[in-house]
Structure formats: C-alpha cells, structure tokens
Amino acid sequence: MENSWVPRVLSYIAPISIGAITIGFIVFSRGEMDEKTRRHETIHFQQILETLFIGFLILYFYDWVTKYFKYSDGTIAYYNIRAEKEAYQYEDNETYLQTRKRWNWIKWK
C-alpha cells in the first residue's frame, strides 16, 4: 500500500524513520516505492514465509533486544538485526530474489 500513514505513525515509536514496512502479507510505504525498496521488502516477505510470520516476529524482536543491550543504541541495534542485514546487503542486487537460498538471513548473528 503506497502513500500509507502506517510507516509515519510507526516512526514515532521506532528507533529509525520508517519509509516502508512489511506487516504480514502487506507492505506499507510512505510514498511510491522504488525498485530498491520493493526488493528490500520482498526479502522480508520471503523471511516471513520461511518463519510462518510469528517466528519472524519473535526472531526480529529477539535480535533487536539482544543488539540493543549489546550496543545501547536502538538505531545500531536495528541495523544489526539479521533480517535487516540480509535485506540491506542485497536490496541493490536485481537478481538476488531469483537466486536467494532459503533461510539465508540466519547466517548473520
């Protein structure tokens, strides 16, 4: 859903300014999504499918909390979440989604 209010509202409680967010099977974006953002969120969608959604939420929250205690900074913790590491590393790779191996994001700690 492009031009959504959801990312703007969630940015008030998040450690970063959210431009787009995948919640379940829906991607909410502040504006129109470019291909880079689309790829980033599609990577998250694949992660969600692999963990049956609830597992993704648990692992994502676990990663953020443990990284927050390690770095004492919410923004640094966010960028060190393993799901985000995969998405940021490959968001510029136009062929990544065609060659992506399942559970690839687990390798980042």
Domain that holds residue 32: 6-106
Please give the model's pTM, rounded to 2 decimal places.
0.93
- The answer to whether residue 1 is domain-embedded is no
Beta bridge partner(s), residue 23 = 26
- The answer to whether residue 88 is domain-embedded is yes
- The answer to whether residue 100 is domain-embedded is yes
Q: At what angle do helices 35-50 and 82-90 cross, to 10 degrees?
A: 140
Contact assessment for residue 1 and residue 15, using Cβ atoms and an 8 Å cutoff: no
- The answer to whether residue 26 is domain-embedded is yes
- The answer to whether residue 80 is domain-embedded is yes
* Residue 109 banded pLDDT, cuts 50, 70, 90: confident
pLDDT tens readout for residues 45-88: 999 999 999 999 999 999 999 999 999 999 999 999 999 999 99
Q: Which of 34, 43, 33 is nearest to 7 (CA)?
A: 33
The count of domains in the chain is: 1
